[in-house]
Amino acid sequence: MKPCVCLLAIAPLLGQETASLQSVKRIYIDGLGDKPQMSEIKKDLAADLRHSGAFDVADSAAHADATLTGHGDTWLKGYYSLNPRAGTAPSSGEAVYGGYLSVEIKDKAGMTLWSYLATPHGSSRNIARDLSKDVVKHLVTADSLHGKH
């Protein structure tokens, strides 16, 4: 009797189709936070997703298969100069940044289909671009491992 009850409880779940990254073609990029650098990262993500050819970027969540959400932060690590006598003053070198970007792709039901934490490899001179490229590279790789493209 108990096995039948268990099977009856599981039976409705067997008929439901689970969403996966394979079913995602259009992604809406939701807010990534209110920090100024995050708006630049959002623009770079949209451009990199379009350029990848694997996904389209939707202008609203209603027109998307999934939503990319997340948060992150960037900070100035210091200044880089080829001249060791120049020191680390802003006028003496080029700014070097650090940061992170944590993202999730969720389906329309709010289930997480994919997530990733991007960090620059070493110091970055264009942190928004580096984080965006890293996220899209790993997203496209994960998508291609599932055989969609």
Q: Give the mean model confidence (pLDDT) for residues 140-144.
A: 90
33 to 37, 95, 105: CA distances (angstroms): 9, 23, 16
Residue closest to 38 by CA, chosen among 69, 10, 61 = 69
Evaluate whether residue 65 is within a structural domain: yes
pLDDT digits (tens, 9 = 90+) for 4-25: 444 444 433 333 334 688 889 9
Evaluate whether residue 123 is within a structural domain: yes
Count: domains in the chain: 1
pLDDT digits (tens, 9 = 90+) for 61-78: 999 999 999 999 999 888
41 HSE (CA, 13 A, CB side): 31
Evaluate whether residue 133 is within a structural domain: yes
Evaluate whether residue 105 is within a structural domain: yes
Q: Tell me the residue range of the domain where 125 lies.
A: 18-72+100-145
Evaluate whether residue 88 is within a structural domain: no
Evaluate whether residue 48 is within a structural domain: yes
pLDDT digits (tens, 9 = 90+) for 102-133: 999 999 999 999 999 999 887 777 899 999 99
23 to 44, 54, 104: CA distances (angstroms): 23, 12, 15
CATH code for the domain of 32: 3.30.160
Q: According to the model, what pLDDT value does residue 17 have?
A: 38
**Rounded Cα gap, residues 66 and 64, in angstroms:** 5
Evaluate whether residue 85 is within a structural domain: no
68 to 35, 87, 101, 107, 127: CA distances (angstroms): 17, 41, 12, 9, 19
Evaluate whether residue 44 is within a structural domain: yes
